Structure 1
Amino acid sequence: MPWRLLRSAGLVLAALALTTIAAGAETGKAAGPSEFLLVAQIILLIAVGRGLGEIMQRIGQPSVIGELLAGIILGPSLFGWIWPEAQAAIFPKTPEQKAMIDGIAQVGILLLLLLTGMETDLKLVKKVGKAAITISIAGILVPFACGFALGEFLPDSLLPNPQARLVASLFMGTALSISSVKIVAVVVREMNFMRRNVGQIIVATAVIDDTIGWIIIAVIFSLAAQGALDIASVAKAVLGTLVFLAVSFTIGRRLVFQLIRWANDNLVSTAPVITVILLLMCAMAMITHAIGVHTVLGAFVAGILVGESPILTRQIDERLRGLISSFFMPVFFGLAGLAADLSVLRDPNLLMLTGLLVVIASVGKFGGAFVGGTLGGLTRQESLALASGMNARGSTEVIIATIGLSIGVLSQNLFTMIVTMAIVTTMAMPPMLRAALARLPMNKEEKERLEREEFEKRGFVANLERPLLAVDESVNATFAAHIAGLIAGMRGLPITVLHIGRNAKQQEKGRDAEESHEAVVKKAAETVSANAEDDTGSVDIVTRARRTELGETIAEEARKGFDLMVVGIDKVIADKDRFDRKIDDIAAKFEGPLAVVAAKGKHLKQPNPDALNILVPVSGSAISKRGAEVAVALAQAGSGSLRVIYVATTRDKGAQRGTSRGLGQETGILKDASDLAARYEVDITTTLRVNRAPEAAILREIETTDVDLVVMGVDRIQGDHLSFGGVADAVLRQAKVSVLLVSSGEARQAGAEKG
């Protein structure tokens, strides 16, 4: 490990030397801005920043610390001190050259705040809102008062404009009171405490801190622009911010979702959703700038709205995160480090003031958060963990300090002191938080919730984002719409209804509004939402009609990122031991999971029942567990009963022995199903059948119980035609009750089929 680090350091130094020589030659050619120097600066900031970030992560520190240290190393603090001519050649202070990379850094700020907003969970904030608000207020007031008092006593030499001390003092108060939601969230997540109760409160409090901090910065920005305490300008900034937030989280939330959906479904160019998100970010940044607020608030709110969109959030996050983390973050934080000349701390007075600033910032934030946690009903241990986590200033502090420097509120020395404080508090946060959380016990309720959430990470239903319902004008289609509505209603998923009948558009328009498939979906979803403890939100429904051949229509829809297709058409089974041709065509063009619905029995007369009595066969396979998961979800949403059956066939060694010892595997599989149902508070009845063919046992169970729906998880079997295996085929053909077959996304070779 040390040899690797030395080798990496040698490579960086060699690259630095070569870049310096080339930069010197380039500087001599022209006095104007140079694209070569811009690229050289970016190369060094990314290479050194990412390299140090990697080292920081390996020793338990956030990577942003390494990126800040990279700027300090490449700046006047070290490189400029050792070799000032080379540092000046690579990072000249000419306004034109500096403006080129500053522009990239400003875009980086917006993108960083966009990503931070996308990571913000508003439901989390609402859940712990009362405690978080109490903690946030106390955690802001105490350090704000300390920072304001420090600002009032700062020497005039540290202020760029001593006559505007009030603005500088307000800015110091804000700088000391705000926490970095990004650093806090990253550290808590890396320590696997994001979903702990105290972890939720820490992140929610940091979110509120950030929001309040940006509003205060907006007021200070207005004050700095006016040069005095102008009540009208302050009122404009505050009221403008409140109106902007109100409109954003009402009309804006819906508008952002519709724009993302429209771009994904209608644009054929590369990454259209990313384009729309970037345009939204820039538009909202311009709006906040127009009302007298800094652009970062607009980007932050845009990120929250994008993160609230129920579709494509994971893909968007993955694509944006790589670009921001690998390019914009090293450049922005590297430039912040470049602007901090730590060599000025050789002055004993400045060093003492910086130490005082770190102590006041830490004691003020720690003490305020601890008092707020106590007032918010937390235990002493929880309050200690909270206070430890809230002390990290990190990226938010650097952004605020950069803004303060750019608008003339902070001097260069004061900026350096604040950046130093941000680095020290951020590096101290992880070990303090680890020590505090290690002593924090987990209660039974929290343990059960975490186990359920861990299961849901690997689950199918919990990770659905966007189902597609393909229907014709049959009764079976209405029942399929009811099933799809129950699934979508559990988490407020947007759903697209695709009418695939030959005259789908005209026939659907001719149906009674209350009987339309859209109405059935909405009614089922609203029933689920009304019974749910959490606010799942309304289900957004889009209707599409088939305009081309069925296969072409399905292929066109499949590219839009649907992760489940529910199929409800009049004829499911053909005459010759195979599915209907339409089902075959749909399965051939849609590679994702299918849910094939076949309404029978009472569901032909009542296709949108008030309750479902479900039977689900299990075998212990992954696809069988998927079927059980869907069955549990439908039972929870449909307020019905759930029966689970496992059939131990003569192929099972345990069944052949016929001993209770030999049935351990089978009872274990049934226990897994019971545990799954218990996680969602669904009552189930389990049945174990021995020495029977699976299909015969399942059909017998249907005849002797009151079930009205069989849910089976099935694999696609490779072949010329769609097949789910002999057991599924027999149940589908012979059962006198409705059947729902939930398939895997990929076909497998036929073989070793087990019910």
Structure 2
Amino acid sequence: MTTRLNPPRLSPWTVPLIAICTFVSYNVAWAADQKSSAPSEALFLIQIIVLVVAGRLLGELMVRMGQPSIMGQIIGGILLGPSVFGLLLPDAQSALFPEQETQKAMTDAVGQLGILFLLLLAGMETDLALAIRLRRAAAGVSLTGIAIPFALGFAAGQFMPSSLLPNAGERLVTSLFLGTALSISSVKIVASVVREMDFMRRNVGQLIVASAIIDDTVGWVIIAVTFSLAKNGTVDVSTLARSVIGTLAFMAFSFTIGRRIVFEIIRWTNDSFKSDLPVLSGIIAIMGGMAIVTNAIGVHTVLGAFVAGILVGQSPILTRQIEGQLRALTTALFMPVFFGLTGLHTDLSVLADPSTLLLATGLVLIASLGKFGGAFVGSKIGGFSNAEAIALGCGMNARGSTEVIVASIGLSVGVLDQRLFSVIVAMAVVTTMAMPPSLRWALARLPMREEEKERLASEAFEKDSFLSRFERILLAIDHSPNGDLAARLSGHFAALRKMPVTVLDVDGDDGAAEKQLDAGTGSDSRAKEISQRVQSTAEKAVETQAVVGESGEAVGELHISVRKKDAELQKVLTEISEKGHDLMFVGVEPTTGAKGGYADRLASMISAFAGTTAIITSRGRLPEKDADLRILVPVSGTERSMKAAEFALVVAKATGSTITAVYFRETRQAIPVSRVSDVTDTHRAAFRKLDQIAAFHGVDIDKVVSAGSSPELAILRHARRGRFNLIILGVSRRAGEDLSYGTVADTLLETADRSFVFVET
């Protein structure tokens, strides 16, 4: 008998901890031999790795404890700083993080980039429409939430013993800095916590973030005044005026002309560049440019980065891919470095002094009670319930990097010392860590309003819907009636779904590369004609929604570009689909081949395009007015038919036309069944699903059940009896060399005497 010895199991923490110790040991040896004052790239890399690994490990621990991961990153920095590591192993700590200015500047630069990227990501996730709708409540919550803790913090500075002040002669300025630090919620921390708690879509979560945005904006104006007072002894009116007027002008430009410019930059870089990730480079340039502008007008760069994120998030193309790329970069590198450096610059050993500890405790209480009370009062004035006001008060009580920056400014001008700086950072950590559990407790007591339930249900449906996956339309058409009908339908989708349209004239001459065409302008007559058709259709769709009482964004938000056929058609279509076009409206003639089936050019176009295709064929006489369309959508209970029904309902909603669904059993289902109830239950389930989709789009739909075993004949029979002039059918491509969508679709292609759309699903 043999005994097997199992090797000891290593904790998952072992390898990272050994790695950190190795890095520290290497640095101690390196520091002993270091003679030059020049910064070390090796040390810089080691610092980054240590901060990232420590932040990841402690962030994971915090998440498992129900705290935001950023708290673990800040605590990791505190542990690596003079408070713990420096106290236990001062030589090793000073070797790993030396006070050499040139060395510190390298990591600080990464930290500053971290601030911008975090704000960019937070802006992309902000629902601006909801924030605007809640602007009055957000402004009330923010202003009272600033005023009350600011007054309390200022009073604390005024009555603070002189022994705790770095300079008793500058008590006024110190009081202003304390008031500012205690009153501002950090939008970076607030947005991160709300996002990690999955409350970004709740009304209260959006209101918390919107209020924090106002907090930050107002806070930087206050800082500008305080900073000028600290430097000059008096309020610099010109600096204040430049900050206020410049901020208003910057915001006005950004959300009007700037929004279109940002989208065009994203579209142009995506469509014109052939190298990897060009859009990400364009967004970084946008973020940097806007941050520079806000810095120039006397407001911190974070405001520019946040506004850039909002504009990027409103881009109708590539937002999901962009957000994923930015989130990966920000979460893996910039966040742990930035928040780690925040903790690293904090020395909690100053709290060993009883007077400093008492001061820290008092500031935490003043900050928490003042912020909670101010937000609560503002919420009640805004008409919110007690439960909602409590949740807002808890949510706004989070500080973080904003307070650290304020404290750093005060430290740099001499109105704060290292003791007060550490106290303010400690206050920021305590209040931020208190936010998640208190907010969870408050939200658990907060019932959803009916309006909020409906909105969240609508958003959940939209997220899972068939059409939500599409971002860009390619309108591939020729000069035929099929092309005209495709242009009309694309205009409806562009208006209701806010989808940009790229027009490709498949009969165009090979030649010039892609050019931009603002709707209705340009030298190419055919492109101008197509663009005007899409534009006019979109305008009618918006007018239709206005008549039924639904508001829509201005048609000026519609983006139309023209792509010239500058190479072989199949090559152009493949390239276009690789640039983010995921839904192609095809309107070309002929649709049928000389020997039956699908025309060769149509089949090759569908094969070359990697996304979803809608084949549009105009037959018979279509009404001039889109409202006179009569749409028939066959359904069979399959996922494919439900997706086509959603497509049809968008057209019906945009045009205000009538729509009818006819239920039939597909060919493989058209066999005797053991019970009549089997068929009844199937069509009832299909109709229930159809009613849900119709209710989401706000469209009334008639439903009929077809009898008989031939679906294609049943579809044509209902179309003729009901005088329907547009059939929309969901199809899926069959395997094989020749293009086929199955018996029903292929038969309709050959025999239909009225217009139809085949939607690939």
In 1, distance between residues paired with 2:542 and 2:232? Answer: 50
1:168 maps to which of 153, 166, 174: 174
In 2, distance between residues paired with 1:509 and 1:578? Answer: 38
Q: 2:640 maps to what in 1?
A: 623
Helix, strand or coil at the partner of 1:716: coil
2:86 maps to which of 80, 87, 90: 80
Per-residue Cα deviation, 1:408-464 (whole angstroms, up to 9, x for no partner): 554322221122112111211122122222222234343232222111111122343
Q: Which moved more, 1:278-287 or 1:362-371?
A: 278-287
Q: 2:604 maps to what in 1?
A: 585
Q: Which moved more, 1:534-543 or 1:309-318?
A: 534-543
1:551 maps to which of 560, 570, 573: 570
2:18 maps to which of 14, 39, 53: 14
CA contact (8 A) 1:490 1:536 kept: no
1:102 counterpart = 2:108:
yes
CA contact (8 A) 1:470 1:567 kept: yes
Helix, strand or coil at the partner of 2:676: coil
Q: CA deviation at 1:400?
A: 4.3
User: Counterpart amino acid of 1:612?
Assistant: L
Q: CA deviation at 1:601?
A: 2.0
In 2, distance between residues paired with 1:225 and 1:307? Answer: 39
In 2, distance between residues paired with 1:311 and 1:157? Answer: 59
Q: 2:727 maps to what in 1?
A: 710
Which residues of 2 match residues 9-48 of structure 1 at below 5 A?
9-30=13-34, 31-32=36-37, 33-48=39-54
Q: CA deviation at 1:465?
A: 1.8
1:421 counterpart = 2:434:
no
Q: CA deviation at 1:356?
A: 0.8
Q: CA deviation at 1:284?
A: 2.1
In 1, distance between residues paired with 2:303 and 2:270? Answer: 26
User: Counterpart amino acid of 1:19?
Assistant: F
In 1, distance between residues paired with 2:370 and 2:670? Answer: 68
Q: Give aligned pairs, total.
A: 737
User: Counterpart amino acid of 2:30?
Assistant: E
Distance 1:154 1:495, change over 3 A: farther
1:637 maps to which of 651, 654, 657: 654
CA contact (8 A) 1:124 1:200 kept: yes
In 2, distance between residues paired with 1:351 and 1:374? Answer: 34
1:598 counterpart = 2:617:
yes
CA contact (8 A) 1:393 1:425 kept: yes
Q: Which runs of 5+ in 2 are unaligned?
A: 1-7, 513-521
CA contact (8 A) 1:19 1:40 kept: yes
Q: 2:695 maps to what in 1?
A: 678
In 2, distance between residues paired with 1:475 and 1:176? Answer: 67
1:112 counterpart = 2:118:
yes
In 2, distance between residues paired with 1:667 and 1:357? Answer: 64
1:664 counterpart = 2:681:
yes
Q: CA deviation at 1:633?
A: 1.1
In 2, distance between residues paired with 1:465 and 1:361? Answer: 45
Which residues of 2 match residues 732-751 of structure 1 at below 5 A?
732-744=749-761
1:567 maps to which of 560, 570, 586: 586
In 2, distance between residues paired with 1:151 and 1:136? Answer: 22
Q: Which moved more, 1:408-417 or 1:158-167?
A: 158-167
CA contact (8 A) 1:702 1:735 kept: no
Q: CA deviation at 1:487?
A: 0.6
1:542 counterpart = 2:561:
yes
User: Counterpart amino acid of 1:309?
Assistant: S
User: Counterpart amino acid of 1:185?
Assistant: A
Per-residue Cα deviation, 1:475-510 (whole angstroms, up to 9, x for no partner): 22111111001011013322111111144999x967
1:486 maps to which of 475, 483, 492: 492
1:132 maps to which of 130, 134, 138: 138
Q: TM-score, normalised by structure 2?
A: 0.91
In 1, distance between residues paired with 2:681 and 2:672? Answer: 10
CA contact (8 A) 1:164 1:227 kept: no
Q: Which moved more, 1:713-722 or 1:483-492?
A: 713-722
% same residue: 49
2:530 maps to which of 488, 504, 517: 517
Per-residue Cα deviation, 1:144-175 (whole angstroms, up to 9, x for no partner): 22222223334455555554444433332232
Q: 1:753 maps to what in 2?
A: none
Helix, strand or coil at the partner of 1:660: helix
Helix, strand or coil at the partner of 1:711: strand
Q: 2:713 maps to what in 1?
A: 696
1:610 maps to which of 627, 635, 639: 627
1:386 counterpart = 2:386:
no
Q: CA deviation at 1:247?
A: 2.1
In 2, distance between residues paired with 1:29 and 1:337? Answer: 28
In 2, distance between residues paired with 1:484 and 1:465? Answer: 13
Q: Which moved more, 1:350-359 or 1:291-300?
A: 291-300
Q: Which moved more, 1:346-355 or 1:568-577?
A: 568-577
Helix, strand or coil at the partner of 1:712: strand
In 2, distance between residues paired with 1:178 and 1:654? Answer: 70
Distance 1:554 1:29, change over 3 A: same
In 1, distance between residues paired with 2:72 and 2:86? Answer: 18
User: Counterpart amino acid of 2:757?
Assistant: L
In 2, distance between residues paired with 1:167 and 1:429? Answer: 29
Helix, strand or coil at the partner of 1:269: coil
Distance 1:154 1:711, change over 3 A: farther
Q: 1:749 maps to what in 2?
A: none
In 2, distance between residues paired with 1:259 and 1:224? Answer: 41
Q: 2:318 maps to what in 1?
A: 312
In 1, distance between residues paired with 2:499 and 2:163? Answer: 58
In 2, distance between residues paired with 1:25 and 1:731? Answer: 80
In 2, distance between residues paired with 1:555 and 1:367? Answer: 59
In 2, distance between residues paired with 1:251 and 1:216? Answer: 28
User: Counterpart amino acid of 1:737?
Assistant: R
User: Counterpart amino acid of 1:620?
Assistant: G
Q: Which runs of 5+ in 1 are unaligned?
A: 745-755
Q: CA deviation at 1:732?
A: 2.8
Distance 1:522 1:352, change over 3 A: same
1:458 counterpart = 2:464:
yes
User: Counterpart amino acid of 2:298?
Assistant: G
In 1, distance between residues paired with 2:250 and 2:671? Answer: 66
In 1, distance between residues paired with 2:30 and 2:536? Answer: 69
CA contact (8 A) 2:596 2:750 kept: no
Per-residue Cα deviation, 1:354-390 (whole angstroms, up to 9, x for no partner): 1111111111111111111111111111111111111
Give the alignment's Cα RMSD to 1 decimal.
Answer: 2.5
Q: CA deviation at 1:239?
A: 1.8
Helix, strand or coil at the partner of 2:627: coil
Q: CA deviation at 1:610?
A: 3.5
Q: 1:210 maps to what in 2?
A: 216
In 2, distance between residues paired with 1:462 and 1:217? Answer: 43
Which residues of 2 match residues 432-511 of structure 1 at below 5 A?
432-503=438-509, 511=525
2:58 maps to which of 37, 52, 55: 52
In 1, distance between residues paired with 2:233 and 2:710? Answer: 86
Q: 1:279 maps to what in 2?
A: 285
Helix, strand or coil at the partner of 2:610: coil
Distance 1:220 1:630, change over 3 A: farther
Helix, strand or coil at the partner of 1:597: strand
Q: CA deviation at 1:12?
A: 4.2
Distance 1:218 1:556, change over 3 A: farther
User: Counterpart amino acid of 1:724?
Assistant: Y
Q: TM-score, normalised by structure 1?
A: 0.92
In 1, distance between residues paired with 2:255 and 2:412? Answer: 30
Helix, strand or coil at the partner of 2:447: coil
Helix, strand or coil at the partner of 1:614: strand
Q: CA deviation at 1:177?
A: 2.1
In 1, distance between residues paired with 2:627 and 2:677? Answer: 39
Distance 1:445 1:236, change over 3 A: closer
